[in-house]
Every structure is written in structure tokens, then in C-alpha cells.
Amino acid sequence: MEATSADYNQFVNETSFYNRMVLSHLLPANLWEPLPHFLQTWLRNYLAGNILYFISGFLWCFYIYYVKLNVYLPKDSIPTRKAMLLQIYVAMKAMPWYTLLPAVSEYMIEHGWTKCYSSLDHFN
């Protein structure tokens, strides 16, 4: 069964909805609405990736280094603040590249370069 442009429009509409849902809560509209669809998608992934990174990192550090102190790690083995900041610095340098892959994947799907189906109705 051949995919039609209506099928691809469904993917574009869905990612546009996700972009509006995330970006409208995090940035003023005049910053992200003029951007092309691909950059909006990447920006959505970048901001969501950073939020996820910092929340999960904070919860991990709080649990391992404060709640369960000396349970999972030997005494006096908590990393220094400098080591933690260095790890954050390295992760922030890589975050644009990590969040580029889902944006490229969505771009390829939206332009019909992959064999994706928007619903199970395509199968009998």
C-alpha cells in the first residue's frame, strides 16, 4: 500500500502539535514561531532533553548521595563539586547532538524517506 501525502501530513500535524505544546509553555511565541518546522522540532527536543537531564540528575544525586549515603558507595567517595560540574559541562556540550537525532528522524518520516504508518488502518 502506497503512502499518500495525507499520511505524511498527519505526521507533520502531530509533530507541530508537540512543538506547540512544549514550546508555548517554555518560550515566548515570537522566539519559536518564525523558525522553520525542523528547527522548532529540534528546539523542542533540546529543551525537553535538558529538562529531563537536570531533573533526573538532581533526583539521582539526591537519592544516591543524600538519602542512601554510604549504602551504594563506600564512605568518602562522593564526587567533588568540580567533578560534577565538569560532567554537566560535557553533557551540555553533547546535548545539541543527542537531541538532533530525533529531529532528523521525524524529518525523514515527514518527508516519506522511511516506511512508517500513522495508524494500523493501513493493514488489513
For the chain, the structural domain boundaries read 5-119
C-alpha grid cell for residue 89? 559541562
Average pLDDT, the chain: 88
Classify 20 as helix, strand or coil. Answer: helix
| Model pLDDT for residues 75-90, shown as the tens digit of each residue | 778 888 999 999 999 9
- What global pTM score does this model have? 0.84
Q: Is the pLDDT of residue 21 over 90?
A: yes
Q: Is the pLDDT of residue 1 over 50?
A: no
Q: If you average pLDDT over residues 65-79, what whole number do you get?
A: 80
Q: Which amino acid, 76?
A: D
Positive or negative: CA dihedral 59, 60, 65, 67: positive
C-alpha grid cell for residue 65? 548521595
